[in-house]
């Protein structure tokens, strides 16, 4: 009698455990996205204040239930070639990285840390770092295409006066999603985004800071192009517009889906965007318009993928 009862009890316990494992597995495999925050921060000349502001806003994003928070280009320093070296720090040992690591860990979230001026071997780079919920740096991207342009009556900017370009594509994994990184001017180079898609990326993130000359016509166009070309989500995160600054950012941070639709767009003001991303839509679009399998690579110049 006792043995029978024990057997029934054990069988019930095992089946309860199996149901739990099954439910957990079903939940994990049905997760089709995550909530993202894009922080359109006001950047000042005060580095510590910029960092504190970012950390506070990351906490707000956590309260909104976000898994990933994205900061803008040069969020800890003015966007100024004359100041990059002065504001630069080592990665990951510098004060900005330490703050981002702590913020990622204490909020248990992924952070794409915009970009900061990085110093390495006396050279200065425009660098994006990525942090996981344990506070580990899981990726780093140095801007590959330096922003050297000259538009008379519009804007002259020569990043190469102060910065060295990075030479690598960089991705990271957030659960089952692969994310490719670029910084601002990098978005103009479709080859880079295409390579990311070929590497299996689901989403591209560009911390950026377009300006009042190129922003109005090119910002949204380029973001939507990269999304449609590659059938990926694209996020561009800009600083807020400060009209009395040397470099006036366009603002208008946005999230675009693989169909090219703007899902969320900021104004020029200081604000946060919060959005749930559903990656199932990306699969549907890829099936409906299967350009990836239709490329005439037998005709095009082929690009070697490593
Ligand atoms: O491409 C543009 O028009 C702007 C690029 C830029 O501002 C940057 O690379 O920081």
Write the pLDDT tens digit of every residue in 48-71: 999 999 999 999 999 999 999 999
> Which of 79, 145, 208 is the pocket-test mutation for ligand 1 (most atoms within 8 Å of CB)?
208
Annotated catalytic residue, options 184, 201, 225, 268: 184
- Active-site hit among 143, 159, 225, 268: 143
Of all residues in the chain, the percent with pLDDT exceeding 70 is 89
In this predicted structure, the answer to whether residue 42 has a pLDDT above a threshold of 90 is: yes
pLDDT, position 28 = 41
268 is known as an active-site residue? no
Ligand 1 atom closest to residue 187's alpha carbon, by position in its atom list = 1
Atom of ligand 1 nearest to the CA of 155: 3
The complex's ipTM?
0.98
Nearest-CA residue for atom 4 of ligand 1: 210
CATH superfamily of 33-292: Carbon-nitrogen hydrolase (3.60.110.10)
Substitution site in 184, 190, 192 for ligand 1 pocket (most atoms within 8 Å of beta carbon) = 184
What is the CA(237)–ligand 1 centre distance, in A? 12
Q: From ligand 1's centre to the CA of 88, what distance in Å? A: 19
The answer, yes or no, to whether residue 26 has pLDDT greater than 50, is no
145 lines ligand 1 (CB under 6 A): no
Tell me what pLDDT residue 8 has: 56
Q: Which atom of ligand 1 is nearest to the CA of 147?
A: 9
Q: Is 147 in the pocket of ligand 1 (CB under 6 A)?
A: yes
Residue spans of the domains in the chain: they are 33-292
Q: What is the pLDDT of residues 2-19, one digit of tens each?
A: 555 555 556 655 555 554
Active site residue 184: yes
- 147: CA distance to ligand 1 center in Å? 6
Q: Is 261 a catalytic residue?
A: no
Summarize pLDDT for 224-250 with one digit per residue, the tens. 999 999 999 999 999 999 999 999 999
Gap between the Cα atoms of 84 and 118, Å rounded: 8
Which atom of ligand 1 lies closest to the CA of 79? 10
Probe ligand 1: pick from 209, 222, 226, max atoms within 8 Å of CB? 209
Cα-to-centroid distance, 160 and ligand 1 (Å) = 13
pLDDT-derived band at 103 (thresholds 50, 70, 90) equals: very high
């Amino acid at each position: 009698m006792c043995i029978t009862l024990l057997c029934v009890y054990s069988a019930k316990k095992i089946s309860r455990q199996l149901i739990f494992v099954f439910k957990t597995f079903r939940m994990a495999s049905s997760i089709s996205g995550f909530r993202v925050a894009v922080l359109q921060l006001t950047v000042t000349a005060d580095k510590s204040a910029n960092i504190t502001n970012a950390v506070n806003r990351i906490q707000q994003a956590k309260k909104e239930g976000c898994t990933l928070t994205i900061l803008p280009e040069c969020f800890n320093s003015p966007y100024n070639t004359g100041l990059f070296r002065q504001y630069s720090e080592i990665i990951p040992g510098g004060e900005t990285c330490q703050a981002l690591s702590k913020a990622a860990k204490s909020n248990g979230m992924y952070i794409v840390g915009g970009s900061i001026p990085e110093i390495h071997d006396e050279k200065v780079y425009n660098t994006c770092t990525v942090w996981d919920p344990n506070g580990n740096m899981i990726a780093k991207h140095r801007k590959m295409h330096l922003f050297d342009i000259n538009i008379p009556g519009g804007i002259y900017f020569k990043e190469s006066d102060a910065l060295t370009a990075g030479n690598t594509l960089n991705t990271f994994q957030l659960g089952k999603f692969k994310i490719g990184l670029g910084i601002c001017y990098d978005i103009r180079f479709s080859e880079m985004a295409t390579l990311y898609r070929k590497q299996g990326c689901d989403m591209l993130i560009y911390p950026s800071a377009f300006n009042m000359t190129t922003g109005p016509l090119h910002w949204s166009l380029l973001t939507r192009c990269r999304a449609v070309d590659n059938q990926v989500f694209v996020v561009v995160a800009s600083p807020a517009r400060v009209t009395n600054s040397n470099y006036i950012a366009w603002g208008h941070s946005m999230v675009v889906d693989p169909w090219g639709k703007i899902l969320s767009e900021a104004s020029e003001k200081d604000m946060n965007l919060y959005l749930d991303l559903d990656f199932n839509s990306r699969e549907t679009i890829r099936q409906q318009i299967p350009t990836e399998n239709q490329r005439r690579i037998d005709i095009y110049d082929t690009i070697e993928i490593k």
